[in-house]
A = this chain, B = another copy of it.
Amino acid sequence: MAKRSALSKAEMEVARLVWARGEATVRQIHEALPAARDVDYKTVQTFLRRLETKGYLRAVRDGRSIVYSPRVRPGKVIHEAVKDFVTRLFGGEALPLVEHLLGERGLSPADIQKLRKILSDAEERHNASPGK
């Protein structure tokens, strides 16, 4: 597979919004960005264009505007991005990051329940797995 060059920070932000919508135009993304971000329409346009050039998004013309949609499975892209991040900042170990995320506040009781469930499932998978 031809390795597409990594997403930049700003590109991640924009790509995420496209993924969340399934597809989107420059305007939609521009409006979706937090007001505090205060970035120009043209700038968003550039990010989307670059995402297309890099191979992350597909651009289809619809009338005078362009509709962007994922060209690579978002999950795959996220996976790569997370992996890169974990590698650089945590030496490749996911656990420290998870601990960090759980440690610092930000988890509601509901979240905690949800995670408990995930842990149980993971455990089950372990006990029942073909052990690779």
Contact = CB atoms under 8 A, between A and B. Distances in A.
A116 B84 CA distance: 26
A94 interface: yes
A88 B118 contact: no
A101 B116 contact: no
A115 B99 CA distance: 7
Interface in A70-91: 78-79, 81-82, 84-91
A103 B89 contact: no
Contact of A95 (B82, B114, B116, B123): B114
Interface string A97-129: 111111110110101101110110011001000
A12 interface: yes
A120 B78 CA distance: 29
Nearest to A83: B104
A13 B100 CA distance: 18
Contacts of A64: none
A54 interface: no
Contact of A103 (B88, B109, B118, B126): B118
14 contacts: A10-B88, A12-B88, A12-B89, A16-B89, A16-B90, A20-B91, A78-B100, A79-B100, A95-B111, A99-B115, A103-B122, A109-B123, A112-B119, A119-B119
